[in-house]
Structure 1
Amino acid sequence: MIQVLFVCLGNICRSPMAEAVFRHKVKQAGLEGVIVVDSAGTGDWHTGERPHHGTRKILDQYGIDHQSLRARQVKSQDFEQFTYIIAMDDSNVRNLQSFAPDRDKQNAEVRKLLEFAPSRGVRDVPDPYYTGNFQEVYEMVEESCDRLLAYIREAQGI
């Protein structure tokens, strides 16, 4: 089983959006039994909450299910359980290190989402919690998730 974890700061805007979009793409590709998708935040402020209303609104606009999503915090076991941990920005990558177990217990490949959309010319997905630009973030996430799925399919031979 291939497991993908999307990570942002609070797990109410970017990472649940990426989780929902990627899960939708996995389902469309007929890979639900092969790829498992989740999301988490490096902070614990929103644990148990649904995604931000802006995230829910944009996902609804594109017909992407988000009903089961609830915020949670990253835990050290995630580095053992997940095949890929996909962070939204450099700060998330740095914060992830505080959760990481010893190297010999890490199975996850940690990457940033926009590594899969280099033509965008930016390295970090901006946080719409502060910018309010959920449409721009959706477009970044959507394009990157297409390419991430292609990367995983090639890397895993599926």
Structure 2
Amino acid sequence: MVVKQRRVLFVCLGNICRSPLAEGVFRHHVKQAGLEEQIYVDSAGTANWHRGKKPDIRSIQTAQKHGIDISNQEARQLEDEDFEKFHYIVAMDSTNLANIQAKAPYLHTANVRLLLQDEQKDVPDPYYGANEGFDEVYELVRGGTYNFLQEIRDVMEPTEI
């Protein structure tokens, strides 16, 4: 049996708040579903300001409150190769979605979408706010990534699951 691996990339602006949290929460859902071999998860930012840095401490603490460790992640910038490497490139908000689409090569294979696509809602950037903003982001990301995993499972072949 050949297992096709789905590859998912979560993207925000700097890759230190929302997308690392989405990566960690989604990876947690994937692990709980027993799909670690079938689904690869990563995150990136559209900007390069924080390249090589750990996630914002408030994102790390928020994840830890829910039993998720994102402290070993390292920020990176979205690259041209990501449009071929990943099946899904998932933006945290409509501004980053537009930036991703503008950066995308004319021909690419990635499905570029908004995390909260069904609600047409952005995951707000909590960077300049208080800790409560990170809790709100966690709740939005938790629900959005859970629903997204169900979407992926719906299109996977039974032999992949």
TM-score using structure 1 length: 0.92
Pick aligned residue for 2:112 from 93, 110, 113: 110
Cα distance in 2, alignment partners of residues 65 and 123 from structure 1: 26
Cα distance in 1, alignment partners of residues 110 and 101 from structure 2: 12
| In the alignment, structure 1 residue 124 sits paired with structure 2 residue 122 | yes
Name structure 1 gaps, 5 residues minimum: none
* One-letter amino acid of the structure 2 residue matched with residue 58 of structure 1: T
Name structure 2 gaps, 5 residues minimum: none
* One-letter amino acid of the structure 1 residue matched with residue 112 of structure 2: V
**What is the deviation of 1:68?**
2.4
Give 4+ residue runs of structure 1 displaced > 4 Å after superposition: none
| In the alignment, structure 1 residue 36 sits paired with structure 2 residue 40 | yes
Tell me the equivalent position of 1:138: 138
Q: Residue by residue, what CA displacement relative to the aligned partner does 1:50-75 show, whole Å, maximum 9, x if unpaired?
A: 00011001001001021321000000
**What is the deviation of 1:101?**
1.4
**What is the deviation of 1:131?**
2.9
* One-letter amino acid of the structure 2 residue matched with residue 63 of structure 1: G
Give yes or no for contact 2:55–2:71 (8 Å, CA) kept in 1: no
Cα distance in 2, alignment partners of residues 99 and 48 from structure 1: 21
Cα distance in 2, alignment partners of residues 156 and 102 from structure 1: 26
The residue correspondences of 1:60-71 to structure 2 (distance < 5 A) are 60-71=64-75
Cα distance in 1, alignment partners of residues 150 and 41 from structure 2: 15
**What is the deviation of 1:2?**
0.4
- RMSD of the alignment, in Å? 1.2
Paired residues, number: 152
Seq. identity, %? 52
The residue correspondences of 1:9-158 to structure 2 (distance < 5 A) are 9-103=13-107, 106-116=108-118, 118=119, 123-132=121-130, 133-157=133-157, 158=161
Cα distance in 1, alignment partners of residues 128 and 113 from structure 2: 23
* One-letter amino acid of the structure 1 residue matched with residue 111 of structure 2: E
TM-score using structure 2 length: 0.90
